[in-house]
Amino acid sequence: MSKTPNTQPLTPNLRIGSGYDVHRLVEDRDLILGGVKIPFEKGTLGHSDGDVLTHAIADAVLGALALGDIGQHFPDTSPEFEGIYSIKLLEHVVSLIKAKGYLVSNMDATLILQRPKVMDFLPEMRQKLSEALGISLDQISVKATTTEGMGMTGNGDAVAAQAVCLLSKF
């Protein structure tokens, strides 16, 4: 059997990226997820606003072009990013991929937490994220799941998020 030569270009028109993040849930912090403030007795700890969903999404976008991660672009030692609204960080990440000739084709993200129930807030999160990503609503999916009471997200210690995105060259 003859070997088929690898004709894949070095920079293909489609790139996939994944992102994952976890933040601790603590008292006296706001809970901001996907750019939306959620009423809850606890919030996520972080140097920025601790928006774990937006962080996972930004890391997926960066990862698709092997541009590192948000910790490298926005160091948590920098006062510039203290308390920053993470949607602003995502907008900057999108400007980086645009400069390289790419746009987000679609994004699929999942929030992992036990409480609070976030289902009613998912449409607003999609709206905010779609604006930051410069895409339409049908290009972004935000889902939520619990871990059935198990582990750090199940016992209420943390909120986690993961995201997968596809970028296409324009």
**Which residue has the closest beta carbon to Mg ion?**
55
Cβ proximity to Mg ion: between 15 and 55 the closer is 55
Cis, bond preceding 116 (omega within 30 deg of 0) = yes
Chain mean position to CA 17? 11
**Minimum CB–partner distance for residue 114 and Mg ion (Å):** 19
> Residue 95 and residue 62: Cα distance in Å, rounded?
11
**Minimum CB–partner distance for residue 13 and Mg ion (Å):** 30
Interface residues for Mg ion in 13-52 (CB under 5 A)?
21
**Minimum CB–partner distance for residue 73 and Mg ion (Å):** 12
Interface residues for Mg ion in 66-125 (CB under 5 A)?
none
Q: What type of residue sits at position 125?
A: M
Cβ proximity to Mg ion: between 105 and 118 the closer is 118
> Residue 90 and residue 108: Cα distance in Å, rounded?
15
Q: Is 55 in the site for Mg ion (CB under 5 A)?
A: yes
List the structure tokens of 2.
Answer: 């003859």
